[in-house]
DNA sequence: CGTCGCGTTGATTTTGCTCAAGATGGGTGG
DNA sequence: CCACCCATCTTGAGCAAAATCAACGCGACG
């Protein structure tokens, strides 16, 4: 694990709110979108007290598939990728995680995928046993975790449909609409959409090669569905058209 | 929903056990593998009391993707498939469910996939609200559901790797080893392995066509990895070889 | 005995992969 | 400040794995 674990709990100085003074977590800007959003202020203080902040640089490695699952994480900034590998190096990105997302929903003995930072990122880290204790004493927390796991299950089923049955064109369209939707869920603009990951990572997420991803972007651009001259920032020009392609119409 | 809902709770007459007399569910032969396995006898009586038995014939349709999620189910016998459809009819089977498996782990407003019986099947059905009430009052139940959801998440991630990065050959090998493993988990022989679903269903699960599945079975048979002359019963002749192919070696 | 659903096999096509060669652009050092 | 460098991205040409299209075998069932 790289990235220096730091003591301290806020990314930005706590703003003077009615919340302030209880626990610095109260001022966390992603709180509402994270597990933490389900907690009352006293619960939050207890929960936040068991968290440590860590930060990673792009490419830094957080956990390895198969290693003992000692910690869980809540992402506060940046983007990370979760992936599985085959012996010959073939890679499948099983998910990208963004601020508010939780790592460790599937309680298992070992991590079910490796996790690596796509961009500079910050996370809160908690001991897995600690989480389990808290989860039994804080019903709200348990409920929220269950809820997040449910969303993850639904999301994964959609990804199965994508990988099993959609064309390259449909996959990329789905990917862009998904990124846009998720940005909006976090209160960010969904258009133009920020694409922090490389073509390689996108390919490994969509079950395609870099080249096919690149060609598909080019085609979507030529067809006037997307615009933007920068690789990592895509303007959606025809949202309905893109959604139709994504949904297989 | 087809299949006549029946009152009554056991598939077989309760055997005279120390368990007997509390609730017929105590004698259910899949109890240990199902959600129910986590419950004490009084809890089981309460839980089982809210269940209704239903049975389906092969091809019968249990729920539709998108329709309001009013019920949850626990499979007691047979095999069912969960699938998603694209507008043009392309289909992705997101999972096969066997006795002991639970339908409704992902609490959502609407079913995230359609479910249809692959073989004659029996299930226990419970109102979703009922389950939620019970789940708050029976911590064991809640814990078990969470646990099952975790397993499902891990399973789905493996399926993403399969669909995104494995060859047809590897997919079919993975499928057979998975069926075998799951049969053993239920206390059944893992070899020869029972393959209750059609080549079509297998194809829609593995992201392949019927023809490719069929050819791949033929090749595995020719290569001496599997045997058995019947379509729906496969003998694994070289378990290590099959596992190696499945794992990408 | 004929039909129908399912599985197998063969011939051909196609989508996306592989291999290869440039373009682009951000970062670094002179 | 500019030139170079290296990552990343793009584009092209040929190829291969699996899809499609088509025919046929076989057992179940009426």
Q: What is the pLDDT of residues A181-204, one digit of tens each?
A: 999 999 999 999 999 999 999 999
Q: What's the confidence (pLDDT) of residue B21? A: 62
CB-count exposure of residue A179 (10 Å: 0-12, 13-18, 19+) = buried
Kindly tell me if the per-residue pLDDT of A22 is higher than 60.
yes
Is A166-246 the same fold as A24-156?
no
Omega of the bond leading into A182 within 30 degrees of 0 (cis): no
Name the residue among B92, B159, B247 with its Cβ closest to that of A165: B92
Q: pLDDT-based confidence at A23, cuts 50/70/90? A: confident
Distance CA B2, CA B59 (A): 10
Task: Give the rounded percent of residues in chain B with a pLDDT score beyond 70.
Answer: 91
Q: Which helix (H) or strand (E) holds B121?
A: strand B121-127
- Residues whose CB is less than 8 angstroms from the CB of residue B22 and which lie 6 or more positions away in sequence, other chains included: B41, B42, B44, B45
Q: Which residue has the higher pLDDT, A49 or A19?
A: A49
Instruction: Write out the DSSP string of A146-196.
Output: HHHHHHHHHHHHHHHHHHHH--HHHHHHHHHHHHHHHHHHTTS--SSEE--
Say yes or no to pLDDT of B12 above 90: no
Q: Tens of pLDDT along A120-141?
A: 999 999 999 999 999 999 999 9
pLDDT tens string A72-89: 999 999 999 999 999 999
Quick check: A6 pLDDT over 80? no
Q: Enumerate the β-bridge partners of residue A93.
A: A83
Residue in chain B lying closest to A145 (CA): B146
How far apart, in whole angstroms, are the C-alpha atoms of residue B216 and residue B196? Answer: 17
Element (H, E) at B31: none
Top-level class of domain A166-246: mainly alpha
pLDDT of the residue at A77: 96
- Neighbouring CB atoms inside 10 A of B247's CB total 14
Residue A228 pLDDT greater than 70, yes or no: yes
Per-residue pLDDT at B111: 98
**Spatial contact of B101 and B144, defined as CB atoms under 8 Å apart:** no
Average pLDDT over residues B205-230: 96
B19 has pLDDT over 80:
no
DSSP A1: -
A83 token code pair = 């992936």
Question: For strand C, which nucleotides have at least one atom less than 7 Å from a protein CB?
Answer: 6-11, 15-20, 25-26
Contact B157 A113 (CB under 8 A): yes
**pLDDT at residue A9 greater than cutoff 80:** no
Question: Could you tell me which residue, A22 or B25, shows the higher pLDDT?
Answer: B25
Determine the Cα angle at B98 with ends B169 and B155, to 5°: 55
Average pLDDT in chain B: 92
Indicate yes or no: CB of A206 within 8 angstroms of CB of B164.
yes
Give the total residue count for chain A.
Answer: 249
Closest residue, chain B, to A108 (C-alpha): B150
User: What is the dihedral sign for C-alpha B29, B32, B37, B42?
Assistant: positive
Tell me the nearest-neighbour CA distance from A90 into chain B, angstroms. 7
**What's the CA B168/C1' D17 distance, rounded, in angstroms?**
9
The answer to whether the CB atoms of A90 and B165 lie below 8 A apart is: yes
Give the nucleotide at minimum CA-to-C1' distance from B197: C6
- Give the phi and the psi of residue B58 in degrees, each rounded to 5: -50, 130
Task: Give the three-state DSSP class for A128.
Answer: helix
Mean pLDDT along residues B144-162: 97
Q: What is A5-38 written as a DSSP string? A: -BS---SSPPPS-SSTTS-GGGG-TTGGGSGGGG
Model confidence over B83-127: pLDDT tens digits? 999 999 999 999 999 999 999 999 899 999 999 999 999 999 999
The architecture (CATH level 2) of B24-156 comes to Sandwich (2.60)
Residue B143 has pLDDT above 70, yes or no: yes
pTM of the model: 0.92
pLDDT at B222 over 60: yes
Which chain B residues are closer than 8 Å to A108 by Cβ?
150, 154
**Domain locations in chain A as residue ranges:** 24-156, 166-246
The residues of A between 147 and 186 with beta carbon within 7 Å of nucleic strand C are 167-169
> Tokens in use for B109?
């407003």
Instruction: Please indicate whether, in this complex, the C-beta atoms of A163 and B164 are within 8 angstroms of each other.
Output: yes
Strand D closer than 7 A to residue B209 Cβ? yes
- Judged by CB atoms closer than 8 Å, whether chains meet at B84 and A150 is answered as no
- The token pair at B171 is 């997919």
């Amino acid at each position: 694990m790289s990235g220096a674990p730091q003591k301290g709990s806020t990314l930005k100085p706590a703003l003077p709110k009615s919340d302030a003074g209880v626990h610095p977590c109260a001022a966390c800007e992603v709180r509402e979108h994270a597990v933490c959003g389900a907690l009352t202020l006293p619960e939050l203080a207890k929960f936040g007290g068991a968290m440590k902040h860590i930060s990673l640089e792009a490419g830094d490695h957080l956990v390895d598939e198969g290693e003992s699952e000692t910690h869980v994480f809540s992402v506060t900034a940046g983007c990370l990728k979760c992936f599985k590998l085959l012996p010959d190096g073939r890679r499948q990105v099983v998910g990208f995680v963004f601020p508010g997302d939780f790592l460790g929903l599937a309680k298992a003995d070992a991590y079910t995928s490796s996790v690596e930072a796509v961009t500079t990122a910050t996370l809160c880290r908690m001991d897995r046993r600690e989480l389990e204790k808290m989860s039994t004493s804080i019903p709200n927390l348990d409920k929220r975790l269950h809820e997040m796991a449910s969303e993850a299950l639904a999301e994964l089923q959609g990804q199965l449909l994508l990988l099993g049955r959609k064309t390259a064109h449909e996959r990329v369209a789905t990917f862009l609409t998904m990124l846009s939707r998720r940005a909006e869920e976090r209160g960010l603009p969904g258009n133009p959409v920020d694409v922090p990951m490389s073509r390689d990572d996108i390919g490994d997420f969509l079950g395609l090669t870099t080249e096919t991803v690149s060609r598909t972007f080019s085609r979507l651009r030529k067809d006037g569905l997307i615009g933007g001259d920068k690789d990592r920032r895509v303007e959606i020009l025809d949202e309905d058209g893109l959604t139709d392609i994504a949904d297989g119409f």
